[in-house]
């Protein structure tokens, strides 16, 4: 059996790994010219952690992960107004939680691929014929491919999904926020942040900062935006929205690169994930959004499920049907959790900000932490349990 996978993100590489492990020939196509280095910190736990464990990846992921010890809500001068112990969240999931940069998770998956998996950068699908018994493709490098299965793992804005299932607006559910992330080198700021994940204690917008290896610093932002359309100048928009937040923000904005990651916070909700021999995976199929804090985890676990269903079914069509039937209910729980989290994530007025501060204080009370952490998410996200 042969699979072509479009997209070499977490979903694409996980699918490649699980299918190759089950004996499939695998070709992965990636639009980017090389491995993506930009990204953001993720909580990695839940079903994806278990799937990564099945692949034997946890020791490598632990090497690549970051030892975040606490999450602090900070004021304009950088003073912590409330602090949460990350260790406590880790204990809630029996230590099966990693703070890892997205490119590092991709790296671990990439390193684990068997040598015969082909990974072709700067390559996309030009034309596609989706037959009952396979797909025929012509690729942007002029070559042709025939395969039994085509997996779109192209992320939330998948072009392949639009070609097969129709335009993005039919499936994208906007959750009312824009998000951005960027990395820059600043050893002095790095020394100030230490192993702390700092978040601003602010209304309608929130910025986070954390130190990476080698004196690099990563910034992550989320702000409320009634208009879902992305700005023409994301860097300018970040300046406009965040310059007044104080402490690290003016300095970070000065160092914001032109190619900043900037996108809507949204989910993909589809009535069906496969058509003929094309199936969607990861965010392309079922983005849960950063508010659910488990998109990467679900991308890895979904790949394990798909490979398992394909292996146990009499034919590919039955395997795809079973995959959808069994994976969808588990997945939808996380999408609902993400939508519920939206109102808590960034306080919309001083009253909500006060409520959040109170909740943060209550989190010091044994037992209350488990209840409230589910409503705070973000880098305190280790609670939305599978």
Ligand X SMILES: Cc1cc2nc3c(=O)[nH]c(=O)nc-3n(C[C@H](O)[C@H](O)[C@H](O)COP(=O)(O)OP(=O)(O)OC[C@H]3O[C@@H](n4cnc5c(N)ncnc54)[C@H](O)[C@@H]3O)c2cc1C
Binding site for ligand X (CB under 6 A): 6-12, 29-32, 36, 40, 42-44, 102, 124, 153-155, 159, 179, 181, 220, 282-284, 290, 293-297, 299, 381
Pick the closer one to ligand X by CB: 148 or 159.
159
> Is residue 281 exposed (0-12), middle (13-18) or buried (19+ Cβ within 10 Å)?
buried
How far is the C-alpha of 151 from the C-alpha of 13, rounded, in Å?
11
**How far apart are CB 106 and ligand X at their closest, in Å?**
8
User: How are beta strands 125-131 and 80-85 bridged, if at all?
Assistant: unpaired
Distance CA 55, CA 77 (A): 44
Closer Cβ to ligand X, 179 or 193, answer by number: 179
Supply the minimum distance, in Å, between the C-beta of residue 80 and ligand X. 21
Query: What is the secondary structure of 78-112 as a DSSP string?
Result: S-EEEEEEHHHHHHHTTT-EEEEEHHHHHHHHHHT
Strand-strand pairing, 216-224 and 172-185 = antiparallel
Question: To the nearest whole angstrom, how small is the minimum distance from the Cβ of residue 77 to ligand X?
Answer: 26
Closest CB 233 distance from ligand X, rounded Å: 20
Q: How far is the CB of 344 from ligand X (least distance, A)?
A: 16
71 vs 290, beta carbon nearer ligand X: 290
Minimum Å distance from CB 164 to ligand X? Answer: 12
Report the distance separating Cα 17 and Cα 59, nearest Å.
Answer: 17
Nearer of residues 67 and 366 to ligand X, judged by Cβ: 67
CA–CA distance, 72 with 199 (Å, rounded to integer):
6
- Cβ-based nearer residue to ligand X, 132 or 169: 169
Query: Minimal distance in Å, beta carbon 352 to ligand X?
Result: 21
Min dist. Cβ of residue 351 to ligand X (A): 27
Closer residue to ligand X, CB minimum distance, 12 or 276: 12
Any residues with CB less than 8 A from the CB of 190 and at least 6 apart, and which?
211, 212, 215, 216, 217
Question: Any alpha helices (H) in the chain, and if so which ranges?
Answer: 10-21, 47-54, 58-64, 86-92, 102-111, 159-165, 187-193, 234-242, 249-254, 283-286, 295-312, 316-345, 350-362, 368-376
C-beta of 317 vs 334, nearer to ligand X: 334
Q: Quick one: 220 or 248, whose CB is closer to ligand X?
A: 220
* 245/299 with CB nearer ligand X: 299
| Ordered DSSP codes for 162-218 | HHHH--GGGTEEEEEEEEEEEEEE-HHHHHHHTTEEEEE--SSEEEEEEE-GGGEEE
Look up tokens 């993100």; give the residue.
9
Q: Which residue number, 36 or 239, has a Cβ lying nearer to ligand X? A: 36
CB environment 290-300: b (16+ within 10 A), e (fewer):
bbbbbbbbbbb
What CA dihedral angle connects 129, 172, 234 and 198, to 10 degrees?
-120
- Tell me how far, at minimum, the Cβ of 99 lies from ligand X, in Å: 8
- Residue 12 is encoded by which pair of tokens? 């694409």
Shortest separation between residue 340's beta carbon and ligand X, angstroms = 16
Q: How far apart are CA 179 and CA 177, in angstroms?
A: 7
């Amino acid at each position: 059996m042969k699979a072509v996978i479009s997209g070499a993100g977490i979903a694409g590489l996980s699918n490649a790994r699980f299918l190759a492990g089950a004996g499939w020939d695998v070709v992965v196509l990636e639009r980017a010219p090389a491995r993506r280095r930009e990204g953001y910190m993720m909580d990695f736990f839940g079903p994806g952690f278990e799937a990564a464990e099945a692949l034997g990846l946890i020791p490598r992921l632990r090497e690549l992960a970051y030892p975040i010890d606490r999450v602090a809500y900070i004021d304009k001068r950088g003073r912590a107004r409330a602090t949460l112990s990350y260790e406590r969240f880790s204990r809630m999931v029996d230590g099966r939680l990693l703070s890892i940069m997205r490119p590092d998770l991709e790296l671990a998956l990439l390193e684990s691929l068997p040598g015969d998996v082909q990974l072709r950068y700067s390559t996309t699908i030009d034309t596609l014929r989706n037959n009952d018994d396979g797909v025929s493709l012509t690729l942007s490098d002029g070559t042709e491919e025939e395969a039994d299965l085509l997996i779109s793992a192209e992320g939330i804005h998948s072009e392949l999904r639009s070609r097969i299932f129709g335009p993005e607006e039919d499936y994208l559910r906007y959750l009312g926020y824009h998000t951005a992330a960027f990395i820059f080198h600043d050893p002095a700021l790095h020394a100030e942040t230490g192993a702390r994940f700092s978040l601003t204690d602010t209304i309608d917008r929130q910025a986070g900062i954390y130190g990476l290896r080698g004196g690099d610093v990563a910034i992550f932002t989320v702000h409320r935006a009634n208009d879902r359309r992305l700005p023409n100048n994301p860097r300018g928009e970040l300046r406009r929205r965040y310059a007044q937040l104080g402490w690290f923000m003016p300095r970070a904005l000065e160092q914001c690169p032109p190619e900043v990651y900037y996108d809507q916070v949204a989910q993909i909700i589809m009535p069906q994930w496969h058509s003929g021999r094309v199936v969607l995976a990861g965010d392309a199929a079922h983005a849960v959004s950063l508010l659910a804090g488990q998109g990467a985890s679900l991308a890895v676990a979904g790949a394990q499920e798909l490979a398992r269903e394909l292996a146990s079914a009499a034919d590919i069509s039955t395997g795809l049907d079973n995959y959808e039937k069994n994976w969808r209910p588990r997945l939808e729980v996380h999408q609902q959790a993400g939508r519920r989290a939206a109102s808590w994530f960034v306080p919309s007025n001083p009253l909500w900000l006060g409520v959040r501060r109170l909740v943060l204080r209550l989190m010091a009370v044994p037992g209350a932490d488990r209840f409230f952490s589910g409503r705070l998410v973000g880098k305190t996200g280790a609670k939305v349990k599978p």
